[in-house]
Amino acid sequence: MTKPLLLRHLLRGLPAILVLAAGCGSGGSSSAGAGNPLSGLQVQAWVTSADKTLLLARVADPVFTELQPVALTIDVDASQRFQTMAGFGAAITDASAWLIQNRMSEPQRDALLRELFGRGPDGIGFDFARLTIAASDYSLSHYSFDDLPAGQTDMALAGFSIDPLRAATLPVVKRALAVNPQLQLMASPWSAPAWMKSSGSMIKGSLKPEMYGVYAAYLGRYLDAMAAEGVPIFALTLQNEPDFEPGDYPGMRVDAAARAALIGQHLGPLLASRSLKTRLFDWDHNWDQPQSPLAVLGDPIARPFVAGVAWHCYAGDVSAQSQVHDAYPDKEAWFTECAGGDWAPNWAVSLPWLMHNLVIGSTRAWAKGVLMWNLALDENHGPHLGGCKDCRGVVTIDSKSGAVTRNLEYYGLAHASKFVRQGAQRIASSAAQDGVESVAFRNADDGSIALIVCNNEAQPRSFAVRFAGRQFTQQLPPQSVATYTWAAP
């Protein structure tokens, strides 16, 4: 994981009245009609402000009224529908799992996992998470699932074992699945075993071409082993950040030609032959090189095996997602990693950045799921072995007491995850205007609408939200986010 270059419910048992507002959007008008079922309907509203006086706080309910002239409007149109959402969440890294398992009491652990992955009054409903296939920089050691002494090989994978996951990662993941059986898990490797690589090490190097077949088999073994543990992996990436060779933690360079060959001739056919179909995403790296996944998708042998493209936030612009989607509209977009950290302590800058680029920007650019990096880290930004020294998790767990601090990323994600349920579809909302932008969703289970609005500006912004011939008005504090929910007629 590279350090960023840029700064980076409605409850099922309640009537569906969702609107997510995270501070940015504008819209047009529609005609009112007598007997409009929205007339007088209350909207539920939650706000997080940059000064932290409001943290996912329920505020006064707006009410739908007749249309009135308002300078800034957000027009929401449920008849225009786009991608179906898998959800929002973060990576359950080895470090995150170790802290949850070893630095929290059982009641603390249970409460945190229910809060993160559950719904109801106290849950924020993470439906999507990422696992690392063996070690990343956020592991306590640099290991693979088939480590050997230098000079040895294991082409039959006789020594393959996921035993390193049994102490912490598997128990935490299984508990998260027990809380949310709909949780979808994807997985990414940071490196092949050292004996498969040109460097002879998990650090740096590339995969030897003669090892393509055995590496595909290695990834297949991982999928089988996790399934046997009751942990199904719905999607796989070939390599985390394949255009980067970090100097102090596992990594592996796999350029576009190598990925196309490995996918088209080895991993793709292997996944296609399995009874449990695991989806394959290419790239899993930054927005600044859309030409790399485009090259893989341009390969006629590899392309049929690629379900989508995964993206990170550390360089480039979120518009790259739309560029690749426009070229291959049958291929999905997924946002799979971004970290916050001490380099970005100012909520007035970081909260709008997160909403603009990830929660709003990435989903408006076709992402079906949005993930932050570490689910949890401790007060010392770890444990980690190499890599980023000042990253923060979605939550911080005090390594002595087990106490939980909810970070900016927690609130930014929760403005979506708590209200946008798995299976929701993104619907149309107005483009950004005067520093206000938005994204809207329609939940599949009850038809409720969730609108997230972000005010990027240093001044309050007043606006109207128009839907089905009625509108409600709101004012958002500076650099704030809101979620609005309501029942559709």
The full DSSP string for 172-189 is HHHHHHHH-TT-EEEEEE
CA atoms of 282 and 268, how far apart (whole Å): 11
Residue carrying structure tokens 């989903």: 363
- Output the CA–CA distances (angstroms, integers) from residue 199 to 176, 215, 245, 252, 435, in the order listed: 37, 15, 11, 9, 48
CA atoms of 411 and 354, how far apart (whole Å): 10
Q: Is 115 marked active-site?
A: no
Determine contact, residues 337/369, Cβ cutoff 8 Å. Answer: no
Tell me the backbone φ, ψ of residue 163, rounded to 5 degrees.
-55, -30
CA atoms of 200 and 179, how far apart (whole Å): 41
Q: How far apart are the first and last CA of the chain?
A: 45
Crossing angle of helices 169-179/94-102, nearest 10°? 80
User: Residues 6 or more apart from 276 whose CB is under 8 A from it?
Assistant: 223, 227, 232
Instruction: Copy the structure tokens of residue 482.
Output: 């809101």
476 CB neighbour count, 10 Å cutoff:
24
DSSP 8-state code for residue 204: S
- Set 332, 337, 409, 437: catalytic member: 337
Is the C-alpha dihedral spanning 169, 171, 174, 180 positive or negative? negative
- Output the CA–CA distances (angstroms, integers) from residue 356 to 28, 118, 119, 360, 364, in the order listed: 21, 26, 25, 5, 10
Q: Is 241 marked active-site?
A: yes
Tell me the backbone φ, ψ of residue 481, rounded to 5 degrees.
-130, 145
CA atoms of 255 and 240, how far apart (whole Å): 12
Crossing angle of helices 408-417/347-354, nearest 10°? 30
3-state secondary structure of 412: helix
Beta bridge partners of 46: 58, 483
- Set 241, 332, 409, 437: catalytic member: 241
List the catalytic residues.
241, 337
